[in-house]
Structure 1
């Protein structure tokens, strides 16, 4: 078989390459959008224009420049979603420094680990991140400076007395400010944390080229042009961070939610007549099953994009029927691919269960499981590891050459660790993570398949499946189940329901455990390592 057999290439044209850094592009576009509405805080109703973002971020950039921030220095933003999040992001881009968005709800250990990856010179924090930062600050040996996204009043913490709130920074000479030029193809402009579902997070390096490529894709497809959207997913997550940058450059407005509150979410969709929703699977389960949904007018919603974790066909169909929406589409991407490398284009019918077709400029292949440096490629409807190549692929993991080499091979192919296949029409399907497959008597059992079946059971609100060790068989599939409020659900009924719908190796031989909630990342990925730890500690 030749090396080129069964290698797929994304079709379609993008607009011409953008010969700008992300910082230069932002400065230009924010100036053009001027006094148009950029953001509204869903909690307070406060509004912000693009001109405000431009002026405030330029003031901050001049301040940071005077304080000695240089090209390739790192700047962390550790905050929940709010109107101020984008200000240090823009300022850092202008200066050719590196933006490092961080989860403010990290544990102390996780936050220290994430900060130690990039060693930022400046850390912008919100009130939510304050206590964690106080507890670990003395352990950060490179002595970063902390700045506040908002003014939180007086504090008796010694090093906090040196902190400035960005609202207190002033500089009148902003009109002559220019963005710093960089090598667009190679300059690292952002370091995002990988999801850390199987271990500690790694620092994923995005270049200016990575980000300008997604800008070209979205502008080509006009997906977000002139559409009011909802910024619900956390900005520190790759999916939502990319959408934030796209919105600032494209000029569309958004409603910003700092956290998911059921009624506020539904009320915001109704009040602002949201047409486009970018969500993750837990939100889709909520839209499919929660009784509150029927109390609000969601008829404005025309399109839903779902990504970041697998979405079952049953939930997809349930939401389509309940909200009377024909355009519900999945996308597939990793932090390591900047944004989606698989999606259904606008005005293209989606296949239920499929995560899409290749985006323009990206190539894909499916290789046999367990093989790395291989010329073997699999044809349609053959399950294997999904691999991708193109301008969306990360530069690598920051200061981690070993992990980079284990993920991007010598020919530039990114090995995703995901099991999937494509059909005769080039539509891709994701089965599960290689590391999460349950091995029962040599058979590979995908947890996502069992979880999708469990979610169709009327009394189940949420579910997760792991393999539990067994001497005779290797592993047994076991379910963690969250009951719907007031539901009378029994273990034996659930096991019977699943076992009637799966082949013999996939039966729930490990049983069912009822829990109050399923531990997940902010993007909706199930934290199976936490479930295993819960089980071990109980045993």
Structure 2
């Protein structure tokens, strides 16, 4: 795959669009990344950046006030890596992780990365059924989990080594004395090796394991370096996004790489977030869109008004686009805070577009411009033709950040990534005449509940396994606080008396809380095409028009 020179005379310097190829090119400076054959782990790449960035920053755990200065991080990571190596872990093995955010999670990630072990983090709220599927996908040889997750892991059938995070055993593993010569980390790992398996539903079906490489993450970090602003003191990030999700996963690594303090608050709690902003003088606050909504809507006004916001400089929002009305409310409520949106997929490692600088932050509704080393196309879904600025179509992207593939699911990867490296996002978008990207709608059928992906097919499969349900379909229902909420349309068997509460409870027992059905409507039949495909738009129209008003 070759990225066209952005200095070509056929490329518009205002928006990066090439009239000849119909490709949009990044307007950011090109960032150097190692070639695919290089021997370099993401850990060593990050430590190289830290060596050139003197810092007084720390990893801070707000729940127990545990602080790890960055000056200690390389030694702790090396010590833990030595202990992991003594567990007979080797390059290509997989480690399953179940933990809320803490200062130990980035340490564990970096140690595992350094010896070539693949990290596969999961949501602590995942059900036994979901954990069982993840284990079948990633095939871990070891698991690092909290005490609360041990029984769930055992119920899911995991029989290999389990290490409890924050136990005496784990603490001792970080204190193993190492002179730095016991483990030659730099010569073990190729940038093309898989570094992480993160979970996404892609555009269809059940949970999928997305394989990312060291080079994928390096390219994402390299692209963000040029957008950094010079500071007299390190920034202080409070990352509310979970470190098992691609959003929080990349942000925690980015904070360490750039020498910024990183505050972890465990499981998200609005009150704890607000007190931590004051206590640790937080400057940068990455949030999911529902939290931005919670800050500007009236329900939490007393808490928000009681908070000292003077340290805060920037709020990041990712996972789903913010509505213009919410952006307007935010700017009125926090006139001295920049609101920065970004856009990306698990399959693109991190954001492929983001806002950078004061001017870009004034463009209402955009998710920014393409990151460095990124190309994009806006493709007419009907004709497959590339479209110029101000035209809506499916967004396709290409670059070194595109995933290696799905675990044991090459066929599905082929439906998303073509032979030229273009990844089809499934999102309806357009670029304006200045190269700003705007998200219009989703062509794919995913439901976005509080930034989490909820695949309708997974919930439909569960519903249809109930003996009293003949057919079922799940749609996104608009929700002011969550963005979208899963709503089920159910066809009952004759003589069945199953009710809405029973349907909700049946699903809730088998999925994580964010996947639960929030609404249920009983109907006589599910509308379908001649080929049997569910007409979800018809169901959405039914729900919004009031036909399904008795909910």
Q: What is the TM-score normalised by the length of structure 2?
A: 0.75
1:465-504 matched pairs, under 5 angstroms: none
Give the secondary-structure state (helix, strand or coil) at the position aligned to 2:517: helix
Task: Please state if 1:346 is matched with 2:357.
Answer: yes
The residue correspondences of 1:123-522 to structure 2 (distance < 5 A) are: 123-136=143-156, 139-140=157-158, 143-151=159-167, 164-168=169-173, 170-176=175-181, 177-181=183-187, 184-194=190-200, 199-222=205-228, 226-289=234-297, 290-291=300-301, 292-325=303-336, 327-350=338-361, 351-369=363-381, 374=384, 376-436=385-445, 451=478, 455=480, 464=484
How far, CA to CA, are the matches of 1:182 and 1:406 in structure 2?
33
Question: Equivalents in 1 of 2:296, 2:425: separation in Å?
Answer: 29
Deviation at 1:255?
A: 1.3
List per-residue Cα deviations over 1:367-421 (Å, max 9, x = no partner).
12256xx4x1122232221110011111111221111101101111001111122
Q: Residue 13 and residue 435 in structure 1: after superposition, are their counterparts in 2 closer, same or farther (change >3 A)?
A: closer
- 8 Å Cα contact 1:11/1:361 also seen in 2: no
Note closer, same or farther for the CA distance 1:241–1:102 as it changes in structure 2 (3 Å cut): same
User: Is contact 1:22-1:211 (8 Å) kept?
Assistant: yes
Select between 341-350 and 201-210 the one with higher mean Cα deviation.
341-350
Change (3 A) 1:48 1:178: same
Structure 1 residues 264, 25: closer, same or farther in 2, change over 3 A? Answer: same
Note closer, same or farther for the CA distance 1:170–1:356 as it changes in structure 2 (3 Å cut).
Answer: closer
Alignment correspondent of 2:65: 45
Name whichever of 101-110 and 18-27 sits farther off.
Answer: 18-27
CA distance in 1, matches of 2:216, 2:108: 20
Give 5+ residue unaligned stretches, structure 2: 1-17, 448-474, 492-507, 524-549
Separation of aligned partners in 1, 2:21 and 2:490: 40
Deviation for aligned residue 1:197: 8.7
For 2:269 and 2:228, the matched residues in 1 are separated by 29
* RMSD between aligned residues: 3.5
For the residue of structure 1 that corresponds to 2:360, the secondary structure is coil
Instruction: Name structure 1 gaps, 5 residues minimum.
Output: 153-163, 439-446, 456-460, 472-517
DSSP 3-state at the match of 1:254: strand
Match of 1:190, SS state, is strand
**Maintained 8 Å contact 2:91/2:189:** no
1:270–1:296 Cα contact (<8 Å) kept: yes
Provide closer, same or farther for how the CA distance between residues 531 and 437 of structure 1 changes in structure 2, counting only shifts above 3 A. same
- Aligned pair partner of 1:72 in 57, 72, 92: 92
Contact 1:206 1:338 in 2 (8 A): yes
Structure 1 residues 3, 201: closer, same or farther in 2, change over 3 A?
A: farther
1:182–1:55 Cα change, 3 Å: closer
CA contact (8 A) 1:148 1:166 kept: no
| Residue range with higher mean Cα deviation, 264-273 or 330-339 | 264-273
CA contact (8 A) 2:115 2:188 kept: no
- Choose 126-135 or 293-302, whichever is displaced more: 126-135
Q: How far apart are residue 346 of structure 1 and its match?
A: 2.5
1:121 match: 141
Give yes or no for contact 1:14–1:216 (8 Å, CA) kept in 2: no
> Greater CA deviation, 377-386 or 299-308?
377-386
Equivalent pair of 1:33/1:50 in contact (CA under 8 Å)? no
Q: Give the CA deviation at 1:238.
A: 0.6
Count of aligned residue pairs for this structure pair:
456
- TM-score, normalised via structure 1 length: 0.76
Residue 404 and residue 269 in structure 1: after superposition, are their counterparts in 2 closer, same or farther (change >3 A)? same
